[in-house]
Chain A
Amino acid sequence: MNLFTRKRNKNDQAAVFLSMNRKQKRYEALVHIYSPDLYRYAYWICRDPDIAQDLVQETCLRAWKNLDSLLDDNSVKGWLFTILRRENARRFERKRLPLVDLDDFELADQYDCHREMENELLGRKIALLADEYKEPLLLQLIAGFTAEEIAVQLDLNKNTVLTRLFRAKKLLKSSLTSVTEKNGEAHG
């Protein structure tokens, strides 16, 4: 094999290495910056740490393969989340994952209304949100996208995004207060 490599023009090789190096640096930077939020987004989409990590791995690998096609560094975040959502959709094409077990959720109802439990409950509520509400919510609160950016991501118009964000938060809040009230009653 050295035979083939050696025959290649030395200058070409240097240029290739240089650009490879630049690509590698760029890639490393974006992995360091975005992988935590990508992971969190993936985690809340599937609520499984291992699957979430796999999803992020696959997302980043795909990003690496297509990094040359990404010219504008400003669009990198949107690009990465788009890849992540596609990877997730692909996962669903492969197999249907069980939703969060309802029994777990009902068990949670019996918990004492402690702050921690409230959070736990809220977390479960988020996980149980329908994707059409969950996705805009996660894109806003984890990735920090504006409503306009979310609209582009999800291919919706802005008003729809706003409506879904509104409903998502209302749902979370109402379920929270209703549970709190219910528990309050039980204690009272």
Chain B
Amino acid sequence: MDDILFRHTAVATPNDKGADFLQRQAESEKDKALVNEAKQFDLDLQSLLKVDVPENLAEKILFEQRFSADKKRRLNNHWHIAIAASIAFIIGISLPLLTTLNSSPLDIGTVAMAHVQDEYYFTAKINEQASRAAVNAKLANYGGSVKGELGDVFFVNYCSFAGTSALHLIMQGEKGRVTVFVVPDDAGFIETAAFNNQHLKGITEKMGKTNVVIVGEKDEPLEKINLKLQKNIQWNI
């Protein structure tokens, strides 16, 4: 081992255990002193570098880790909640859809009475004095045409009958106003011949390819309207 390498080793790694290095120390007091001096310098530096470590450093680190592990666990829980919420959301969205798809058919009378009740204040006053031509124009879509006299028709228009496009007529009855719905018979309602609730009553009559629903007040003789309609409207079959 030459001088340069020896001195380099002495300074860089004075604790080197290489045979060459140890031999030079054994052979020369001067070399040994050099190495010892370097060792001492290393020790000085080490003691200088050995700064105080903050109190409870290890505990703080471990606390942090537990906290992060906890957080992770909580996040995992949130993951479950998120999935559950998503599923609930999808169900919430699709449930109304499913009910419409699988819904049992509605009762034609119930729909008719609800419709009349909803529009009660509107229909009680309205008077558009619909002409026979106006009635015929709309009734034609349902395969009917007025041949005779229907009496006063206050209102005639299409309406949404629980999703089905129907014709909505308001006519003068014996006691008050009578509402007539002309509902296509392929709309899939339960056809109840006669129905009533605490305010209204009604009947259903098959005419042409439609169900004609007549709704009036409790004391209204609906059969008279029924006969009038049967007598004065001609249906394509």
> Which A residues form the contact surface with B (CB < 8 A)?
1, 4, 27-28, 31-32, 35-36, 39-40, 43-44, 49, 53, 56-57, 60-61, 64, 119, 122-123, 126, 137-138, 140-142, 146-147, 162-163, 165-166, 169-170, 172-173
Contact = CB atoms under 8 A, between A and B. Distances in A.
Given A31-B58, A35-B57, A126-B49, A60 B64 contact: yes
Contacts of A140: 13
Most buried by B among A39, A49, A146: A39
Contacts of A122: 44-45, 48
A163 B4 CA distance: 12
Contacts of B60: 53, 57
Interface string B52-68: 01100110111011001
The bracket for how many chain B residues form the interface is 20 to 34
A165 B11 contact: yes
Contacts of A162: 8-9, 12-13
Nearest to A34: B58
Contact of B61 (A4, A44, A57, A142): A57
A61 B42 contact: no
A40 B48 CA distance: 11
Given A1-B77, A165-B11, A169-B11, A141 B45 contact: yes
B41 interface: yes
Contacts of B126: none
A35 B81 contact: no
B80 interface: yes
7 contacts: A64-B68, A64-B69, A122-B45, A137-B45, A142-B46, A163-B12, A169-B41
B41 A173 contact: yes
Given A119-B48, A147-B12, A166-B11, A31 B80 contact: no
Contacts of B12: 147, 162-163, 165-166, 169
Interface of B: 8-9, 11-13, 38, 41-42, 44-46, 48-51, 53-54, 57-58, 60-62, 64-65, 68-69, 77, 80-81
B81 A39 contact: no
**Is chain A's interface secondary structure helix, strand, loop, or mixed overall?**
helix
Given A137-B45, A140-B13, 15 more contacts: A1-B80, A31-B62, A39-B54, A40-B53, A44-B51, A56-B57, A57-B64, A60-B64, A64-B65, A64-B69, A126-B49, A141-B49, A142-B49, A162-B9, A170-B11
B48 A165 contact: no
Given A138-B49, A141-B49, A169-B11, A61 B57 contact: no
A166 B50 CA distance: 21
Closest 4 CB pairs of A and B: A165-B12, A166-B12, A36-B53, A60-B61
B77 to A, nearest CB: 5
B120 to A, nearest CB: 50
Nearest to B13: A147
Contacts of A146: 13
Contacts of A49: 54
A147 B16 CA distance: 9
B65 A27 contact: yes
A159 to B, nearest CB: 10
A61 B64 contact: yes
Nearest to B47: A119
B2 to A, nearest CB: 14
Contacts of A172: 45
B54 A61 contact: no
Contacts of B8: 162-163, 166
A32 B62 CA distance: 9
A97 B121 CA distance: 79
Nearest to B60: A57
